[in-house]
Chain A
Amino acid sequence: MDAMSMGNYGVYVWSCFGLTLVMVLFSYWRARLRHKRVYRDIEVRIKALEERE
């Protein structure tokens, strides 16, 4: 419990570490999502072209 309260600075310290975790996870998620989207768009376009031929 003592470790959590951080000498009454707990809120500030934990919110900073929490925010950092959120930001890193968000960046990772964004990178993944964008890759999926770009890949899918290209796939759809190429498959459509392929069928037309």
Chain B
Amino acid sequence: MWKFFHQLASPPHFYRLAAVLSPWLAAPGIALIAYGVYAGLFLAPMDYQQGDAFRIIYVHVPSAYLSMMAYMIMAVSGGIGLIWRIKLSHAVAAAAAPLGAAFTFLALATGSIWGRPMWGTWWEWGDPRLTSELILLFLYFGYMALRAAIDDTAKADKASAVLALVGVVNVVIVHYSVEWWSSLHQGQTLMKKGGPAMDPAMLYPLLAMILGFTLLFGSLLLRRVRTEVLFRERRTRWVREMILSPEGS
């Protein structure tokens, strides 16, 4: 078991494995998304309150979910790197941040576009989810800015891991305090996110989208980690041998 992990975390092995694995995650991901988009847009019945505008949840909910998951991946792998000094996990954290920020932005943009016909405004401060998501985007910005400001990679890895771990605690506090705050200002009950009341014809495409997005995210993350590993190992022998070998990669 330990040997397996050790081998997985060894950079040259990971570099090869990621290239093989990435398309195998992307293919089922794209298939699931294709089904989800088709079923969500054309097969799922219309929501009786929101009409067809509810179909935006098929892209909004997966991106909101991924924005949180990417942050968790970033913080957990940063923590693992900090405690067990595994270089690969720092590379994962570094690669996850821009992707997470992209999905956070996507969740904000789709939420805002959804809000235009539903609330009559592009932005509703009273909605706790949008506000929390915005603060999450700022946390990503801070994380990436700290990484960019420190030249020494090993130092940047550790400092940003501490920040990400502090940020996780903060995300929880933001969640509850923003809920409390919006309840003070009669925040409307807004986007319905799943739940047992949902019609299966609406729910299954959503689940397919969430799973499909996760797989696609995994594939993109592998690609980015692979680049990160290559960059960090640029002075090692295996990289030199790989580049000088006739088949290359």
Please measure, in the bound complex, the distance between the C-alpha atom of A35 and the C-alpha atom of B19, giving whole angstroms.
12
Minimum CB–CB distance from A21 to chain B (whole Å) comes to 9
Are A20 and B63 also in contact (CB < 8 A) when A6-B52, A9-B117 are? yes
A42 touches B239 (CB 8 A): yes
Residues of B within 8 A of A50 (CB): 244
Q: Of A12, A26, A31, A38, which is within 8 A of B53 by CB?
A: A12
Please measure, in the bound complex, the distance between the C-alpha atom of A30 and the C-alpha atom of B42, giving whole angstroms.
31
Are A27 and B113 also in contact (CB < 8 A) when A42-B234, A46-B244, A50-B244 are? no
Q: Is A1 an interface residue (CB 8 A)?
A: no
Q: Is A52 an interface residue (CB 8 A)?
A: no
Interface centre among A19, A27, A46 (most CB of B within 10 A): A27
How many B residues touch A, CB cutoff 8 Å?
Answer: 38
Which residues of B from 202 to 228 have beta carbons under 8 Å from A?
Answer: 216, 220, 223-224, 226-227
B42 touches A23 (CB 8 A): no
Minimum CB–CB distance from B249 to chain A (whole Å) comes to 8
A27 touches B41 (CB 8 A): no
Interface string of B147-161 (1 = CB under 8 A from A): 000000000000000
Minimum CB–CB distance from B72 to chain A (whole Å) comes to 19
The secondary structure that dominates the B interface is helix
Please measure, in the bound complex, the distance between the C-alpha atom of A16 and the C-alpha atom of B244, giving whole angstroms.
45
Which residues of B from 227 to 241 have beta carbons under 8 Å from A?
Answer: 227, 230-231, 234, 239-240
Residues of B within 8 A of A28 (CB): 220, 223
Q: Is B191 an interface residue (CB 8 A)?
A: no
Residue of chain A at shortest CB distance from B219: A28
Q: Of B53, B109, B231, B244, which is within 8 A of A9 by CB?
A: B53
Can you spell out 25 A-B residue pairs with CB atoms less than 8 angstroms apart? A6-B51, A9-B55, A12-B56, A12-B114, A16-B56, A16-B60, A16-B114, A17-B37, A19-B109, A19-B110, A19-B113, A20-B59, A26-B102, A27-B99, A28-B223, A30-B98, A32-B223, A35-B223, A35-B226, A35-B227, A39-B243, A41-B234, A42-B243, A45-B234, A46-B240
